[in-house]
Amino acid sequence: MCITSLVVRQGYIACDKKMIFQKMREIVKKELNNWDVKHGDYQRDSEYDKLYIHNRKVERTKKSALIISAGILLTVIFYFILKAASTI
């Protein structure tokens, strides 16, 4: 793939090579989640903490939903068992 076609495909119109490479750097920086050769992919501790807390909340919510669903299902099953047992 030609560099100019990639830059034009992303919506940029570049006239010289310097501008093309500058736009390419911006595109790559956005696509790689701000990864840089000099600094690596390390984020601030606060950003990792936010992700950890968010994932922990999601897992807790999934676990609670699973427990509630299992409780409701068990209640319905026991209802039908007791209803069948009462008609005997």
pLDDT of residue 71: 97
Q: Residue 10: what pLDDT?
A: 53
* Residue 19 sits in the same domain as residue 51: no
Q: Which pLDDT score, from 0 to 100, does residue 28 have?
A: 64
**How many degrees, rounded to 5, is the angle at CA 78 between CA 75 and CA 84?**
140
Cα–Cα dist 30/24, whole Å: 10
Q: How confident is the model at residue 4 (pLDDT cuts 50, 70, 90)?
A: low
Residues 66 and 33 in one domain: no
**What are the tens digits of pLDDT across the range 13-30?**
545 677 777 777 777 665
Q: Give CA–CA dist 2/86, Å, rounded.
A: 78
Q: Are residues 85 and 70 in the same domain?
A: yes
Does residue 85 share a domain with residue 50?
Answer: yes
For 43-78, how does the pLDDT look when each residue is reduced to its tens digit (9 = 90+)?
667 777 888 899 999 999 999 999 999 999 999 999
CA 10 to chain centroid: 23
Full domain range(s) for residue 36: 1-41
Output Rg (C-alpha) for the chain, integer angstroms.
28
4 and 25 together in one domain: yes
pLDDT tier, 80 (very low <50, low <70, confident <90, very high otherwise) = very high
